[in-house]
Amino acid sequence: MEKTFDWFGSRGVTLRKSGLDREYAGAVEGIEGVELVLLSAGEIPRELASGNIHLGVTGSDLVREKLANWDSQVGELAPMGFGGADLIIAVPQAWVDVDTLDDLDAAAAAFRAKHGFRLRIATKYHRLVREFLREHGVADYQLIDSQGATEGTVKNETAEAIADITSTGDTLRANGLKVLDDGLIHASQATLFRGRRKDWTDEQRKTLKALQTMLAI
């Protein structure tokens, strides 16, 4: 939140929380007709798509994961240069024979033949991972839902590989994992989005234009 406030602040639009600390409302100074609502990053894609909010700051990964045909529902106004993290596929370092998706596919085929079930990949990014693997022709895997501590699933033997967000890769290495060479699914960063619903008033469209001019985006 602070980084978002700084990003707007350095461009002449002051955002701040109003009232009590626990209240999720805010104030906007420097431009008329803009209101600030504080929502969790995961809810913003859906609220943008439904038109409850007009603009939103959230991770580009969350928009792609949560919205089907995301670019028909929201538009990317500006990547904001922070909150960078990569959605990647990682496998145990002990798999010295697996460095690429091609290897992963071959290992998955052999794994299924030996163990009788598909190689498990733990993730919370089901749509993005599935689309990525389909596009690259990887078969014989299954996705296991993991909403947290995903790096630990391999050690716990609830998954053989993971697809997760990482910024430095330290946690992965500490858990005995390595990133596939061609396993980058999406390089995410905080991004300012607009909803594409058609029911904006002329007033709101003018306000957006004024805001875009101020922000130089």
Partner 1 sequence: MPNSPETRAEARRLRDLFAAQGAQVIEADVLQSAETLLDLYGEDIRARAYLTSDPLRGEMVLRPDFTVPVVQMHMESHADPARYAYAGKVFRKQENDETRANEYMQVGYEVFDGQNPAAADAEVFAVIAEGLARLPVRAATGDIGILTAAVRGLQTTDARKAALLRHIWRPHRFKTLLKRYAGGKVPATRTALLAADDPFANAGSDIGLRSRAEVEARIAALRDDAEQPPISSDEVMLIDAILDLRETTPNVLSHLRDIAVDMPAISDAVARMEARVNALDARGVDVDNLEFEGSYGRTSLEYYDGFVFGFYATKRPDLPPVATGGRYDALTARLGEGRAVPAVGGVIRPDLALGGA
Torsion-angle region of 58 (φ positive above 0: left; ψ -120 to 50: alpha; else: beta):
beta
Between CA 133 and CA 111 the distance in angstroms is 17
Buried-exposed string 44-80: b where 16+ CB fall within 10 A, e elsewhere: bbbbbbeeebbbbbbbbbbbbbbbeebeebbeebbbb
Tokens of 52: 């409850």
**Taking a C-beta distance cutoff of 8 angstroms, is the pair 167, 86 a contact?**
yes
Using CB under 8 A as the binding rule, the residues of this chain from 102 to 131 that contact partner 1 are 102-103, 105-107, 109-111, 114-115, 118-119, 126-127, 130-131
According to the binding rule CB under 8 A, does residue 197 interact with partner 1? Answer: no
Tokens of 55: 């603009």
* Number of residues forming the site for partner 1 (CB under 8 A): 44
Helix/strand/coil percentages in the chain, nearest 5:
35, 30, 35
Q: Residue 186 CB, nearest distance to partner 1 (Å)?
A: 17
- Give the x/- contact pattern for partner 1 in 1-40, rule: CB under 8 A: ----------------------------------------
- Give the x/- contact pattern for partner 1 in 166-185, rule: CB under 8 A: ---------xx----x----
According to the binding rule CB under 8 A, does residue 71 interact with partner 1? Answer: no
Would you tell me which residues interact with partner 1 (CB under 8 A)? Answer: 68-69, 92-97, 99-100, 102-103, 105-107, 109-111, 114-115, 118-119, 126-127, 130-131, 133-134, 136-143, 154-155, 157, 159-160, 175-176, 181
